[in-house]
Each structure stands twice: as structure tokens, then as C-alpha cells.
């Protein structure tokens, strides 16, 4: 079975600007004007200082893998097993869960540097994913 349509994201009240930025392939997350913290998921106030002064700021796209799993059972039509799910600590601080595409690390994936990429689906949806970052020597 080939790639199918991705289910529509469950859209919370504060989520549309994030998904608009993902569709534009320039992901943004909320950033607090008072303390500078980035946050995910979007919320009405800063989770660190409770300020309601939040802007949508661009991400560097850099991060490191902090958790990973390989699924050997199919849960969605679009993902034939085996497939992976990673949790990445973004350079800006928040944790974000998606997939690692392309080459996979050897051994443990923990600490592997990654960068944000975008995957286009035939139905027009776009998802943020990660790939291994090339280390500078």
C-alpha cells in the first residue's frame, strides 16, 4: 500500500498560526516577549512566566533526538511498518515529536543532531519531519 492521505490535524484554538507556518515551510512557534521562552504546544500564556505577550517566531530548524522508537505494526495507512517516531529537543527548547527521514543513525539515536525538513503529501498537506544534520568539522 502506498502513501495515503494524512489525517487532518486536531486543531486547537491556538494552533492555526503554527500549522499555517508549517504549510509555508517556515515553522514558527510561540515565543514569550517577557522571558524569551519558546513553547509547544501553543497556549494562551507562557508556560514559564505566565505572560500573555506571545509572538510567533521562526525556528532555527536545529535539534537533537532525545527519544525514538521503531514501530513494527501499522497504525495509519500512510506509514507502512517498520517506521520510526522521534522526539526532538529543538534548539529553542521545546520538545517536538515527528519522524526521522532519510538515513538513520547507527546504534542509539539519542543525541543525534537533526534538522527540520518538510514533507509534502499528495493531498496537499505538509508535515514537519527531521533528518540527520551534517556535522561541521
Q: What is the pLDDT of residues 86-136, one digit of tens each?
A: 999 999 999 999 999 998 888 999 999 999 999 998 888 899 999 999 755
Q: Average pLDDT, stretch 9-36?
A: 95
Nearest CA to 115 among 106, 135, 123, 14? 135
Percent of the chain with pLDDT over 70: 93
For 35-89, what is each residue's pLDDT tens digit?
999 999 999 999 999 999 999 999 999 999 999 999 999 988 878 899 999 999 9
pLDDT at residue 9, as a whole number: 76
Q: What distance lies between CA 105 and its chain's CA centroid?
A: 18
d(CA 2, CA 12): 30
Residue 8 has what pLDDT?
75
- Tell me the C-alpha to C-alpha distance, in Å, between residue 54 and each of 32, 33, 42, 103: 5, 6, 10, 36
Sheet holding 38-39, edge to edge: 38-39, 28-32, 54-58
Q: What is the pLDDT of residue 137?
A: 47
Amino acid at each position: 500500500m502506498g502513501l495515503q492521505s494524512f489525517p487532518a490535524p486536531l486543531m486547537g484554538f491556538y494552533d492555526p498560526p503554527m500549522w499555517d507556518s508549517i504549510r509555508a515551510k517556515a515553522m514558527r512557534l510561540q515565543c514569550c516577549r517577557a522571558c524569551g521562552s519558546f513553547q509547544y504546544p501553543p497556549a494562551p500564556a507562557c508556560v514559564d512566566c505566565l505572560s500573555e505577550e506571545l509572538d510567533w517566531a521562526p525556528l532555527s530548524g536545529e535539534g537533537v533526538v532525545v527519544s525514538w522508537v521503531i514501530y513494527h505494526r501499522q497504525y495509519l495507512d500512510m506509514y507502512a511498518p517498520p517506521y520510526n517516531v522521534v522526539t526532538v529537543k529543538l534548539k529553542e527548547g521545546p520538545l517536538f515529536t515527528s519522524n526521522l527521514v532519510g538515513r538513520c543513525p547507527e546504534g542509539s539515536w539519542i543525541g543525534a543532531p537533526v534538522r527540520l525538513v518538510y514533507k509534502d503529501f499528495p493531498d496537499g498537506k505538509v508535515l514537519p519531519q527531521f533528518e540527520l544534520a551534517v556535522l561541521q568539522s
